[in-house]
């Protein structure tokens, strides 16, 4: 299994010195590491060693047939960060959408290696809110993607049209994601095996919920600071703080103004301010 950590087109992001605070992020389908392009340089300038890999099945990472439960995907990231990149400090883990689910699994599996967890715009498997959200009519894509043969067949050759639908429906800032950006995402999910990998991530969500509930039952709630965030224009974002209180003892909620679902792209400055404030407090707690 190979997880690609090559940065998206952007300037190189500073030294790898041990004094830099490690920051590891995960995006979510239909996106790749390209989703973080607007925030990497500001975070590096703020003193972070930014690590923004493509998760298993996305972008330049390999697309195996299985292993899409978030427990296994968390192991991919942990191996990359600590074994291959040699990070020895606890990491600030950041996720968006399904990347938040992966970040949650990471924080549960590697508790001592996490200094803070930032989640955005996702119902976390293992919470009551996830169980409510997955059966909502507007969450139709959960069941659609959980049937890979059907979803892959119906989207084959139409990947760009299909993923554009999510950007059109969930974006508040219409110029935040350009046609060129959509081209980057479309090429990624037109690659052989990419749409099936996307579907497998969804198909594992109920399995993830069982794993996460068992981890909390045996190890207790997370004790690291957790941020439940979302775009202020999204109606669902009001639920995220309460959801995070189900799984963590120390929870902060924050809504990023002038942003829809795609927070780091729609309001990168607001995202960076939110994260730096939260993580500074987390590191001094």
The set of catalytic residues is 97, 202, 261
- CA-CA distance, 177 to 265, in Å (whole number)? 7
Q: Are 271 and 119 in contact (CB under 8 A)?
A: no
Tokens 């929870």 appear where? Answer: 251
Q: What's the chain's length in residues?
A: 285
- Cis amide prior to 36 (ω within 30 degrees): no
Q: Which residues, at least 6 apart from 81, have a Cβ–Cβ distance to it below 8 Å?
A: 22, 24, 51, 87, 91
Q: Are 228 and 241 in contact (CB under 8 A)?
A: yes
Closest CA to 245 of 124, 136, 139: 124
């Amino acid at each position: 299994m190979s997880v690609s950590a090559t940065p998206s087109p952007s300037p190189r992001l500073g030294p790898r010195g041990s004094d830099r605070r490690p920051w590891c992020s995960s995006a979510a389908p239909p996106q790749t590491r390209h989703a973080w392009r607007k925030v990497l340089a500001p975070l590096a300038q703020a003193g972070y060693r930014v690590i923004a890999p493509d998760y298993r099945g996305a972008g330049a990472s390999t697309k195996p047939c299985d292993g899409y439960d978030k427990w296994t995907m968390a192991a991919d990231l942990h191996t990359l960060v600590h074994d291959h990149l040699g990070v020895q400090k606890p990491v600030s883990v950041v996720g968006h959408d399904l990347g938040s689910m992966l970040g949650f699994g990471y924080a549960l599996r590697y508790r001592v290696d996490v200094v803070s967890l930032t989640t955005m715009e996702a119902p976390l498997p293992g919470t009551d809110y996830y169980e409510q959200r997955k059966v909502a009519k507007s969450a139709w894509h959960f069941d659609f993607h959980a049937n890979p043969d059907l979803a892959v067949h119906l989207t084959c050759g139409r990947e760009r049209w299909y993923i554009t639908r999510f950007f059109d429906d969930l974006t508040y800032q219409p110029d935040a994601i350009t046609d060129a950006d959509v081209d980057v995402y479309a090429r990624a999910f037109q690659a052989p095996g990419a749409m099936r990998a996307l579907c497998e991530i969804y198909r594992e969500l109920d399995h993830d919920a069982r794993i996460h509930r068992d981890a909390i039952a045996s190890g207790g709630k997370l004790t690291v600071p957790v941020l439940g965030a979302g775009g202020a224009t999204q109606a669902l974002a009001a639920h995220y703080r309460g959801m995070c209180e189900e799984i963590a003892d120390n929870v902060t909620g924050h809504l990023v103004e002038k942003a829809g679902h795609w927070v780091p792209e729609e309001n990168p400055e607001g995202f960076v301010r939110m994260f730096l404030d939260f993580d500074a407090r987390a590191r001094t707690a």
